[in-house]
Chain A
């Protein structure tokens, strides 16, 4: 083997002894939350879903400003009009309707005042479908958010207490959870709906009364682990109060579980509201929710399919977007779970 020719001065020892700087080099440390956000925003699907949901929530919040008509205002003469998008002549959105094989201008037939446009048409009572969908979405979201809140308000403290106290308390609390979760939740929801007066509050309670169990279970399991963590032990030995430990040390560390679980509670609540309203024991008339709109739409579906399509699409979009966003959040909080 030939020995490479190297200038002699290159062979001076650098005196690397005790050279420790190397250890400091590394990628700049991101905080956990920054990391989560970065991963979430890198996920295109999650970002699209987040955007969609933001738009839907925005429209719901500002429904009174955005909705073109009063959602409950009836116009007997203007019932069941097809969608019309201004004077644009787009098939399906030009106010024409198939009547006995002929396309006729439904708006002209009922002598609708000039300049009357219903973007998504009207229902059997002549109410503007678009406004009803906007308000209906709003109501469904309110149900979902309230149910989720109640769910959190019961589930989190229950889980924390059960996990933190352990022993006998935990035992009793877990038996209760077991019994509650062994009853099919639909049955509980339906029984609650029969007993309570139909309405927003009843639906929220009925949904929350079954849903908190999952949350409580997850929180308890995590609290059990956190309890043994050093910083929590330290706080305990330092004599910090239980409430302070719970809010300062436990809740922040439980936040990922809570956020992810919430993203699965919301579509569940939206589904139950729609379900109950669909079978006629949910939101009472004349208020619109996605469920009542679907129920009304179904009755007219054969002849006026758009009355069902519109709420069905909105409902599906909300469900899909929350489910996908839930997935995205889970991957962002726990990168190993994806790949």
Chain B
């Protein structure tokens, strides 16, 4: 598969009054055409900053101080402002978390959806509006023709997110970044939006980077999953690998705190104790060690490298070192391992 996007050794710092926040501390991943990569992790782990770096939509105090972001082999970090403008909303576009505040309250939605077309293509206003109407229909806005002249406040939250999605896909982007597109919506609407994204992906063949802190929605949409903690990826692999053969204790914790269909009454949900480290001065060793039930001396001293679990599955934990003791993961995770065996047998 050809990689359309490769992020290598990305480091992002923020200058604040209290010092430098090392928000992203060496992130590597790639994206193939048409695939969906999910990035999961607790709040503050750096998911948004990672993807915003791609479009360079970061706060003024941000500094991408190391790394490359190759888009078709060209480093986006070396592009000029103008070149980046040409990529945003055209080749790579983004859906934001809160549909209630993402739309310009004083502009009709028709104009807002048509805007990317007018920026990036030599089309007339009329053509652009016509296209906008089509796309609004595509994302499931009823009577798009009449509603083109309505303002955002005249739509429900779910509808607004559909409009935001329409804006993002109107110019058929190659990559669609969805930063928690369903977090602000209620559960039934969440499912509709996920279905819509899947459907659109099939129709226009865009690759999706899907961010969430809800593992529950990942299985339904993603091909691959990356787990993020304190500005680093700690484990990544295919959905089945990460869900049913997780190796990192943090992934265990996340999965264990997620309700599943076969969670029975007596399986209590465990949340991970403690809080993420302060990224003003990140720990020397594994950032997760202080919260890790299975922490070893080495975890406090040295950051673990990625250990290969399979050709597509990697995890950064010293537990995978040949010299590490064998540990028994939580009960819920053991059940998952059993399931994974069955999957493998098939």
Residues of A bordering B, CB below 8 Å: 1, 3-4, 6, 8-14, 16-20, 22-23
Contacts and interface: CB of A to CB of B under 8 A. Distances in A.
B297 A20 contact: no
B297 A19 contact: no
Interface of B: 273-275, 289-302, 305-308, 318, 321-325, 327
Given A11-B296, A19-B273, A6 B321 contact: yes
A327 to B, nearest CB: 19
B322 A3 contact: yes
Contacts of A4: 302, 305, 321
Given A4-B321, A16-B290, 20 more contacts: A3-B321, A4-B302, A6-B298, A6-B318, A6-B321, A8-B323, A9-B297, A10-B301, A11-B296, A11-B297, A11-B298, A11-B323, A12-B297, A13-B294, A13-B296, A14-B300, A19-B273, A19-B293, A22-B275, A23-B274
27 contacts: A3-B307, A3-B321, A4-B305, A6-B298, A6-B321, A10-B296, A10-B298, A11-B296, A11-B318, A11-B323, A11-B324, A11-B325, A12-B296, A13-B294, A14-B299, A16-B289, A16-B290, A16-B293, A16-B294, A17-B293, A18-B273, A19-B274, A19-B291, A20-B273, A22-B273, A22-B275, A23-B273
Contact of B295 (A8, A13, A20): A13
A126 B305 CA distance: 88
A15 to B, nearest CB: 8
Contacts of B295: 13-14, 16
A329 to B, nearest CB: 19
A218 to B, nearest CB: 26
A20 B272 CA distance: 11
A248 B308 CA distance: 63
Nearest to B308: A1
Q: Interface centre among A1, A13, A19, by most B CB within 10 Å? A: A13
B274 A22 contact: yes
A20 to B, nearest CB: 6
A11 B306 CA distance: 17
A337 B290 CA distance: 36
B321 A14 contact: no
Contacts of B301: 10
Contacts of B308: 1
A3 B275 CA distance: 30
A187 to B, nearest CB: 36
Nearest to A6: B298
A71 B301 CA distance: 77
Q: Is the interface of B mostly helix, strand, loop or mixed?
A: loop
Contacts of A11: 296-298, 318, 321, 323-325
Nearest to B18: A27
A14 B274 contact: no
Contacts of B291: 16, 19, 22
Contacts of B327: 13
Contacts of A23: 273-275
Contact of B297 (A1, A14, A17, A22): A14
A1 B325 CA distance: 21
Q: Interface centre among B274, B301, B325, by most A CB within 10 Å? A: B274
Contacts of A3: 307, 321-322
Contacts of B321: 3-4, 6, 11
A251 B273 CA distance: 39
Given A14-B297, A23-B274, A6 B290 contact: no
Contacts of A8: 323
Instruction: Enumerate the 5 nearest inter-chain pairs by beta-carbon distance, A residue then B residue, closest first.
Output: A10-B298, A22-B274, A16-B295, A10-B297, A14-B295
A13 to B, nearest CB: 6
Contacts of B300: 14
Q: Interface centre among A14, A20, A22, by most B CB within 10 Å? A: A14
A1 B311 CA distance: 12
A190 to B, nearest CB: 40
B9 to A, nearest CB: 16
A23 B289 CA distance: 14
A6 B308 CA distance: 17
A20 B324 CA distance: 24
Contacts of A13: 294-296, 325, 327
A6 B298 CA distance: 8
A22 B298 contact: no
A11 B298 CA distance: 6
Contacts of A6: 298, 302, 318, 321, 323
B164 to A, nearest CB: 25
A6 B318 CA distance: 10
B296 to A, nearest CB: 5
A232 to B, nearest CB: 30
A23 B273 CA distance: 8
Contacts of A17: 293
A306 B324 CA distance: 86
A38 to B, nearest CB: 11
A14 B249 CA distance: 14
Nearest to B274: A22
Contact of B274 (A1, A10, A12, A20): A20
Nearest to A42: B17
Given A3-B322, A11-B323, A16 B298 contact: no
Contacts of A20: 273-274
A19 B289 CA distance: 11
A22 B295 CA distance: 14
A9 B296 CA distance: 9
A285 to B, nearest CB: 54
Given A1-B308, A10-B297, A16 B292 contact: yes
A102 to B, nearest CB: 60
B7 to A, nearest CB: 19
B159 to A, nearest CB: 30
B290 A19 contact: yes
